[in-house]
Amino acid sequence: MKLWQKNINVDADVERFTVGRDREMDLYLAPYDVLGSMAHITMLESVGLLAKDELEALLRELREIYKTAIEGKFVIEEGVEDVHSQVEMILTQRLGDVGKKIHSGRSRNDQVLLDLKLFTRAEIRLLAEEVSALADILLAQSERYKSVLMPGYTHLQIAMPSSFGLWFGAYAESLTDDLQLLLAAYRVANRNPLGSAAGYGSSFPLNRQMTTDLLGFDSMNYNVVYAQMCRGKLERTAGFALAGIAATLSKLAFDACLFNSQNFGFITLPPEFTTGSSIMPHKKNPDVFELTRAKCNLIQSIPQQITLITNNLPSGYFRDLQITKEIFLPSFEQLRDCLRMTGLMLRSVKVNEAILDDPKYSPIFSVERVNELVIQGVPFRDAYRQVGLEIEDGTFTADKTVNHTHEGSIGNLCNDRISALRGEILAAFNFNKVLDAEKRLLGEA
């Protein structure tokens, strides 16, 4: 079944090539296609394009289809082109010609864009929850190990004293900044394109504000041409937010792999969280962190992949945009999985509390000695030279007492402020507005 088909059967190879993986990808969108249809037909009844009894029958059946989709039982049958066609076919089978009325005032162009926006904002909510959960683990570990010193590095050379409190807390704050970008992507996603039809509006007296309110959007995409221009832009914008989170995880994973190696020995992973070698019986490989690094590096390519598909397209819809689904839709679950696994690993990691007992790390306290001399009145450049010469002639003795008190330092981590900032950002999403609107549409409120 094709919503656009008339009297000519399309060549089988053309159909295979043009449909591509749409049936597979559209399963991600099924519950959102149903929600969008519920809002649309409620609006159609309000403007006289559906009778009240027709609306009630359609809503009843759509709620059943929604349950099927949420339970993972929704199927796009062979020969059916996409999720929109499957939903309309089910309604027509159950209700007759009434099922054919749900497409009035819509195009598949604004329908799929609406589905993508509803999907994206729902996935962003789940992603924000996972990011926040990992940040909680990081902050808890930061507090737990705040007094345990470790060497800090620049150029992979030992540099200055750091601490596990700083290391864990740094990634918690990085994720907090990543939430800022995710919030921006959410605000782009949370605007209603429905009613733009094929990109040029409709002669029907559509009430776009009504569907905006019914679906809990912050506003509509006002200009109907721009609404269609959001396709590709939406995915790219959200892709940048995902890439930011992935970059944080990838860096953390690299640190963990490095610190877990015998040459560093800063952390140890429980044996049950590592894998072995087929030939070397001693191996305990940090495969979870290695795969996290690889998967997150791949996720970081999403904005570029989408840009390459869309950057030479003029305004209006083009079939090229279909391919963005394959890149975009699975990426949320992939990133959430990496966040969950990273949290599992970090919650159980064991920290070496005696790293700095090794004399090779003594030079990292040289800056502490320079600063001490400066406080005693020695000019900085003279103090720097004095300590440098002591290191060169082997007479430098490290005082491993560290007293850093300024904001964000070893002795003043500001974890409470990081947590408070994260709370402010999460509150700005206002997820409850959307959840309440969806409950009302589903008759659950």
Tell me the pLDDT tens digit for each residue of 376-435.
999 999 999 999 999 999 999 999 999 899 999 999 999 999 999 999 999 999 999 999
Q: For the whole model, what pTM was predicted?
A: 0.93
Per-residue model confidence (pLDDT) at position 273: 85
Please, are residues 442 and 66 in contact by the beta-carbon 8 Å criterion?
yes
- C-alpha of 172 from chain center: 15
Q: What is the percentage of the chain residues whose pLDDT exceeds 70?
A: 96
| pLDDT at residue 78 greater than cutoff 70 | yes
Q: What gap in Å lies between CA 187 and CA 271, rounded to an integer?
A: 43
Residue 18 has pLDDT above 80, yes or no: no
pLDDT in tens, 127-165: 999 999 999 999 999 999 999 999 999 999 999 999 999
Calculate the CA 377 to chain-centre distance: 52
Are 230 and 113 in contact, with CB atoms under 8 Å apart? yes
Residue 118, SS3 per DSSP: helix
* Closest C-alpha to 113, from 33, 35, 209, 34: 33
2-11, 161-170, 306-315, range with the lowest pLDDT: 2-11
Q: Which of 1-5, 241-245, 408-412 has the lowest mean pLDDT?
A: 1-5
**pLDDT mean over 317-335:** 93
* Surface-to-core class of residue 220, CB atoms within 10 Å of its CB (0-12 exposed, 13-18 middle, 19+ buried): buried
Distance CA 21, CA 81 (A): 10
Query: According to the CATH classification, is domain 108-357 in 1.20.200.10?
Result: yes
Q: Are the beta carbons of 108 and 395 closer than 8 angstroms? A: no
DSSP 336-353: HHHHHHHHHHHHH-EE-T
- Looking at the chain, the domain(s) classified CATH 1.10.275.10 span 12-103
Task: Name the class of domain 12-103.
Answer: mainly alpha
Amino acid 107: pLDDT: 94
User: How sure is the predictor about 281, in pLDDT bands with cuts at 50, 70 and 90?
Assistant: confident
φ, ψ of residue 192 in degrees (nearest 5): -90, 120
d(CA 38, CA 215): 9
Beta bridge partners of 21: none
At 7 the pLDDT is 57
φ, ψ for residue 91 (rounded to 5)? -65, -40
Distance of CA 258 to CAs 81, 142, 374, 420, Å?
49, 19, 35, 31
The radius of gyration of the chain from alpha carbons, rounded to an integer in Å, stands at 28
Which structure tokens are listed for 99? 């099922």
pLDDT at 4: 43
Rounded distance between C-alpha atoms, residue 60 and residue 118, angstroms: 21
Predicted local distance difference test score (pLDDT) of residue 8: 64
User: 338-376: per-residue pLDDT in tens?
Assistant: 999 999 999 999 999 999 999 999 999 999 999 999 999
Q: Identify the helix (H) or strand (E) that includes residue 191.
A: strand 191-192
Distance CA 339, CA 91 (A): 39
Q: Which regions of the chain carry the CATH code 1.20.200.10?
A: 108-357
Strands 219-220 and 191-192: parallel
